[in-house]
Amino acid sequence: MIAFVVFSLRRAWQSFWRNSLMSLAATATMVLMLVLLSGLIILLTGLDATLNYVQQEVQVVAYLKDSATAQEVSGLETSLHAMPQVTQVSFVSKDQAYHDFLARHPDEAEVINSLPTNPLPASLQINLRDPNDYLDVATYLNHQSAVDRVLNIKQTVDQMVTVIGILRAGGTAVLIVVGLIVLFIIINTIRLAVVARADEIEIMRLVGASDAFIRWPFVFEGALVGLIGAAITIGLLLVGQGPISGFLSDYFAVLPVEASATVGRNIALLVLGTGVGIGVLGSYVSVRSYLIR
């Protein structure tokens, strides 16, 4: 058994180099397709991170009555913290709101200073785990005595959720389509390499080689093409890492920094798995059509 594996590996290695033109074509196709695939995945990862960030930025703003006591407010804060939909609650006092307003609208300083009292209410700003929970939290707040009113941005939130959903679905669809195309092209290239050696397979069958004996060297050769293709692709990605992260932080500004190491490792594993997997699958399927009679 071990002798057979060693033998098949040796034959795979030999024929990889003997048919160097075909091997080169298959490997080059593999690299091109894997680069395409991983590029798309990097792009989609950036998009996903951005969408996540945008989702987290959805805030419910509840304006508090001036009459609300500190006790009422802190009680409300505690109960909000206890809600599973809520990630963060921050209290903005009347003074803070006043300063924020001035900072945002320096031209309106005269207007607001001409008023006898500070007209801006204190508020609670609540960050949500999922923007779809907006209505639940808003409804809850509307029933609290300390709350004057809840800023209604339901329409905006709904639109955003729709757009994000479309972007996600679109990204997934593109990924699936490209993935299928990549699969098809690589399998086809490997098939060509096998077809080029149809004579050899025929002779092997005629002199009484078992199916396993014919198949495994080809399968190992497919794995070798996948392995080399993946290695080159990962090398290219490493070289391109600097420019790629630069591009990502330009376009998506908010990509979480600590994620990039994990993302890199995942992409490397994906490239390796896809390369070797498709290499093996392609050879197996291609040789199969010569064996079954």
Q: Is 206 in the site for other proteins (CB under 8 A)?
A: yes
Q: What are the tokens at 71?
A: 């006790």
Residue 7 makes CB contacts below 8 A (sequence gap 6+) with: none
Between CA 77 and CA 275 the distance in angstroms is 52
* Length of the chain (residues): 293
**Among 84, 106, 208, 243, which residue interacts with other proteins (rule: CB under 8 A)?**
208
At residue 216, what is the residue type?
W
Contacting residue, 4, 119, 166, 177, with other proteins by CB under 8 A: 4
Q: Which segment (102-110, 114-122, 207-215, 260-268) binds other proteins by CB under 8 A?
A: 207-215
Query: Which two structure tokens, joined as six digits, stand for 291?
Result: 């064996």
Q: Which is nearer to other proteins, 1 or 257 (CB)?
A: 1
Q: Which is nearer to other proteins, 101 or 284 (CB)?
A: 284
Q: Judged by CB under 8 A, does residue 9 bind other proteins? A: no
**Cβ 279 to other proteins, closest distance in Å?**
23
CB 26 within 8 A of CB 195: no
Residue 7 or 251 having the CB closest to other proteins = 7
Distance between CA atoms of residues 134 and 58, nearest Å? 8
Closest by Cα among 71, 79, 284 to 191: 284
Q: Binders of other proteins: how many residues, by CB under 8 A? A: 19
Question: 18 vs 149, which CB is nearer to other proteins?
Answer: 18
Distance CA 35, CA 270 (A): 11
Residues that bind other proteins (CB under 8 A): 3-4, 7, 18, 199-200, 202-211, 213-214, 293
